[in-house]
Structure 1
Amino acid sequence: MSLLADVYLALAGVVERLDEHDGWSATGCSGWAVRDLVHHMADDAVRGLVAVHVPGSGEPDRDAVSYWRDWGSDAEKDDAMRRATRAEASLRGWTQLRERHLEAAAATVRAYDSLAPDAVLTTQGHTLTAADLASTLAVEATLHHADLVLHLEAAPPTGAGLAEVRRVVESLLGRELAGWTDERVALVGTGRAAPTDAERSDLTGARVPVFT
């Protein structure tokens, strides 16, 4: 739970300093400006908050790693989501988008801080422990933090967040990427950066990106 707080609070620290001009800057997400990505990140925080109030029954069917195996498997659904996000973000002014994200992130951090790590929650048709769901939220927020600041002069993602992304990426790859920084594992492993020749050699036989 402390990881989620660390990642969300760092991201909020960046978002709260952005202005209307920044809202139209490009991001690492193709076709999305900062305002679109901030809207998407607010939606993800709200999803995490809703999950707190949707307890699951029985044993979880996903964990912090296996949750990502299905990610990006439905290209048509993903394209529809991207279009909807762009359209919905266009209906709000920048101040409203920013404040919605900050409020949702703060509420989600408070909610997870009060949960037992082994509580079983439901989201997106799957059940995970609260700790594993918090990890997935932190991983997505860390990657989108990197996307958000790509063309801005702003603080990068937290070290703890990048380390968690690395743990997930290497688990999905089934190998350790010795000599790589956490940032390179995160960016290359999720398709946000092209591998160098040396890195490509380390990835021989692996499917990359492991998710996007």
Structure 2
Amino acid sequence: MDLFSRSWTALRGAVAALADEDFERPSGCTGWLVRDLVCHLVIDAQDVLITLATPATGEPTVDAVTYWKLVEPPTGEDPLDALIPRLAAAYGEPRLLTFHLDDVGSAAGRAAGLADPSARVSTQDEVLTVGDYLSAYVVEWTLHHLDLIAHLPSAPEPPDETLAAARASLEQIAGSAFPASLSDKDVLLIGTGRRAPTDAEQNALGDAAAKLPFVLG
């Protein structure tokens, strides 16, 4: 619960610190500008609110790790992916987009803080505890924080502890550890295909390099 709050607060803070012109820069999500990514975060925040308000009574079917599935890289043909840029553009001014994220995002953060970690909720036809659901979102927030600042070198990075937690989750999802010589940030970027490994990193990864990237869905 604490890591969820730290990762979400840091990400929203990074968005709040953006200059208007930053919204037109590319993000780390292929084909999306920063404004598109911020719009996606609004939808993510809505999903958190919806899930926390969708109690379930059955036994959990997934946990914080198995919630994530390894999927094929996106092709850009997903209708929702195509909708996001149009929706983001409809906001017009960046301040309207940041206001909406702050409004919905703050509510999502408060709802998470008030939720019972042991309660069960349902999302995407799965059942899991609130604690596991919010833990899974630490990966989401941390990766999107890196996406947000991909072309903004002076922007604040995700907290060290959430980078470490997201790395640990990715290693569990992938079923193997990454070399200790790679930083948490580099593991997340390389492991999820956000950048290609250097020759030295390729050598350090060894046989694992052939399995990359691990695309989460």
TM-score norm. by structure 2 comes to: 0.89
Provide the secondary structure at the position in 2 that maps to 1:68.
Answer: coil
Consecutive aligned runs of 4 or more in structure 1 exceeding 6 Å deviation? none
The 5 Å alignment of 1:105-184 reads: 105-152=105-152, 153-177=154-178, 178-184=180-186
- Per-residue CA deviations over 1:57-112 (Å, capped at 9, x if unaligned) read 21111111111115x45846863221111111111121111111112221111111
Provide the secondary structure at the position in 1 that maps to 2:43.
Answer: helix
Matched, 1:85 2:84: yes
Provide the secondary structure at the position in 2 that maps to 1:167.
Answer: helix
Amino acid at match of 1:83: A
Change (3 A) 1:77 1:117: farther
Q: Structure 1: 5+ residue runs without aligned partners?
A: none
- Per-residue CA deviations over 1:164-204 (Å, capped at 9, x if unaligned) read 21111111222222222111111111111212334334251
Query: 8 Å contact 2:73–2:215 — kept in the other structure?
Result: no
Provide the secondary structure at the position in 2 that maps to 1:67.
Answer: coil
Task: State which of 185, 197, 212 in structure 1 corresponds to 2:199.
Answer: 197
Return the offset for 1:135: 1.6
Aligned-partner Cα distance in 2 for 1:46–1:29: 20
Change (3 A) 1:127 1:164: same
- Per-residue CA deviations over 1:23-51 (Å, capped at 9, x if unaligned) read 11111111111111000011101101111
Provide the secondary structure at the position in 1 that maps to 2:4.
Answer: helix
Amino acid at match of 2:193: G
Query: 8 Å contact 2:76–2:82 — kept in the other structure?
Result: no
Amino acid at match of 1:44: D
Return the offset for 1:16: 1.1
The 5 Å alignment of 1:40-79 reads: 40-70=40-70, 72-73=71-72, 75=74, 79=78
Change (3 A) 1:19 1:197: closer
Provide the secondary structure at the position in 1 that maps to 2:69.
Answer: helix
How many residues were matched structurally? 211
Aligned-partner Cα distance in 2 for 1:73–1:132: 24
Aligned-partner Cα distance in 2 for 1:171–1:198: 24
Q: Structure 2: 5+ residue runs without aligned partners?
A: none
Partner of 1:27: 27
Provide the secondary structure at the position in 1 that maps to 2:207.
Answer: coil
Provide the secondary structure at the position in 2 that maps to 1:204.
Answer: helix
Provide the secondary structure at the position in 2 that maps to 1:32.
Answer: coil
Query: 8 Å contact 1:188–1:209 — kept in the other structure?
Result: yes
Aligned-partner Cα distance in 2 for 1:172–1:204: 17
- Per-residue CA deviations over 1:103-124 (Å, capped at 9, x if unaligned) read 2221111111111212111112
Aligned-partner Cα distance in 1 for 2:73–2:183: 30
Amino acid at match of 1:186: L
